[in-house]
Structure formats: structure tokens, C-alpha cells
Amino acid sequence: MLKSNRRIARSFANRASALRSEALACDGKPVASLPPQHSARRTSTRFLDIHQMGNKAAIEKERARLADEMNRGYFADMSELRKHGGKIAMANKIIIPAMAAVKFPIIEVDQSDGQSFKLPISCSGKKVDQNTPSVPKATLLCLSFRASSQAMIDSWGMPFRNTFHDKEDVHLYEVSFIDSWLLCRKPIKRLLLRIMRKPRSEDDQGPLRRQIVYSFGDHYYFRKELKIMNLLTGYVFLLDKFGRIRWQGFGTATPEELPSLLSCTSLLLEEK
């Protein structure tokens, strides 16, 4: 009986070994076993294979993304920040013509009260709530991927709000991006939004309110579309009523760049 059990056990072991060999074979050639440091990458690829049902294009796209993210990381961003203080480029001096402007990619955001909506609010978009009865003629979107860029965002947002505080057809959004897997889980996300909730300040009493919103999840392709690489700096986009980018700025606002932002906003308000 004991010998019979041992034979059965060896048989199962041999079958398991054969199955592993078949799984690691590719085009009839055995594939060498991967070292431990690559096990996570192999698991990710296998997970993608199952859910993409052998979609080679999706696998290649994911591999290209992995290579891109590995080639540029925190230290590269920090090196650039030390070199130019987040000013990766100068802001536009004049407004971008409507014919040459590209649309800002749609992104879903959450308010601190838990309500979700999509930005930008354009002529083809939906209204957020009763506080936004019409599509704004000009929208300033300030994007922050790390807390270190908040001071840069304020250098644009505060003068903008002070200049157009009485304009009902101007919107100002500060979007904070949260890509941590843990913080994006629903229970943690709800708790985080509750913590972020702040009483309405005196600066937000006029028609133009500083609206702070949050975007959770994977933003890789969103960043690629806007050519955003350095996550330690701030990005500012001025949009028209059709959601097109008519002006953009980076890093901390300079005295020469602020008048450009304000004058371009005034031109958008005059457009019909």
C-alpha cells in the first residue's frame, strides 16, 4: 500500500513538472526560469494575458509603459527641479488660436463631499450642479501631482482669482492627483475625502470660487496625452468654452507671465 502511494505521488509530481515545462515553452523552445527579481513582472504579464485573452497589442503597450516608467523616476524629476525650480518651459505669451488649439482630455474628479463629475465643463459636457448653470467661457485648470507643487499652483491661482473674482463665466479648479493603490481603495478614499473637507472661506464667496477637487487612480495615459513628465512641478491650463487649451504655464508664475494669463483670459471672455 505504501509503495502504491509513493508511485501515485511520483506520477503527480512528474505530471506537474511536465505542465510547468509546457507553460514555460515558447515556439517549441524552453524558456529559462526567471530570477526572483523578475517574478513580479512575469506575474503582471500573465495577469494581462488572462484578461486580454492573448491580446499581443495590449501586452506590448504595457511593456512599453513599464520601460517608460523605469527610465524616468523620482530622482530624474528631482534633478530637473533643482536645475530650474520646476520651470520646465515658459508660459505662452499670446493666446493659442482656436484653430490650432487641442482639446483637454476628459478626466473624472471628486469633490470633498464625495460628488463626482468630469472636467473640463464644455459645451458638450454635462452640468455639475445648480451652482454651474452655464458653461464657463474660461476655465483655469491647475494640476498638482505632488504636494510640493502647491506653492507653484498658488502663484497662478491667487492673482487669477483676485482679478476675475466677480466673473460668473470664469471657473477655477485645482486638481490634486492621487495614484497610490492604497489611497484609491473605496473605504480609504471616502475617509480621505472626509478629512480633506474644509469650510468655505471668505475668498470663495464670490461668483468665481476656488474649487479643489481630487482625481484618483492611474493617470499614466492622461499625463502622456498632455506630455506631462515631471511630477514635482505644477501645470496650469487655460481652456475656452469648448474645452480647448488656449494657454498653458508651468512651475512658479513670474511677473512677466502673469499678465499673459490675465490678458488671454480677458480675450476668451470677449469671444463669441
For residue range 7-16, list pLDDT tens digits in order.
Answer: 544 544 454 4
* DSSP letter for each residue of 120-165: ---TTS---STT--S--SEEEEEEESSGGGHHHHHHHHHHHHHHST
Do the beta carbons of residue 99 and residue 271 sit within 8 Å? no
Q: How confident is the model at residue 4 (pLDDT cuts 50, 70, 90)?
A: very low
Which uninterrupted H or E stretch holds 259?
helix 258-270
Q: Is the pLDDT of residue 1 over 70?
A: no
Task: Indicate if the pLDDT at residue 97 is higher than 70.
Answer: yes
Q: Which residues lie across from 30 on neighbouring strands?
A: 25
Bridging pattern class, strands 245-250 and 234-240: antiparallel
Looking at domain 82-270, its CATH superfamily turns out to be Glutaredoxin (3.40.30.10)
Q: What is the DSSP letter of 2?
A: H
For the four alpha carbons of 255, 268, 105 and 168, in that order, the dihedral sign comes to positive
Q: When comparing pLDDT for 19 and 98, which is higher?
A: 98
**Average pLDDT in the 40-66 region?**
55
pLDDT category at 203 given cuts 50, 70, 90 is: low
Using the Cα atoms of residue 97, residue 99, residue 101 and residue 107 in order, give the sign of their dihedral: positive
Res 104 pLDDT > 50? yes
d(CA 271, CA 261): 16
Q: What confidence score (pLDDT) does residue 247 get? A: 98
Whether residue 229 contacts residue 73, with contact meaning beta carbons closer than 8 Å, is answered with no
Residue 160's closest CA among 134, 193, 128, 136?
136
pLDDT of 225 > 50? The answer is yes
Note the pLDDT tens digit of each residue in 113-151: 888 999 999 876 444 444 444 789 999 999 999 988 999
83's enclosing H/E stretch is helix 74-84
DSSP 10-64: HHHHHHHHHHHHHHTEETTEEPPPPPGGGHHHHHHHHHHHHHHTS-HHHHHHHHH
**Residue 68 pLDDT:** 61
Phi-psi region of 224 (alpha: psi -120 to 50; beta: other; left: phi over 0): alpha
pLDDT in tens, 253-270: 999 999 999 999 999 999
Q: Is residue 108 within a helix (H) or strand (E), and if so which, with residue range?
A: strand 107-110
Assess whether pLDDT exceeds 50 at residue 28: no
**Residue given cell 526560469 in the structure block:** 33
> Cα(first)–Cα(last) distance of the chain, in Å?
92
The predicted structure's pLDDT at residue 205: 60
Compute the average pLDDT of residues 75-90.
80
- Cα separation of 92 and 250, whole Å? 10
Which band of pLDDT confidence, cut at 50, 70 and 90, is reported for residue 154? very high
Q: Domain spans of the chain?
A: 2-71, 82-270
**pLDDT value at 160 more than 80:** yes
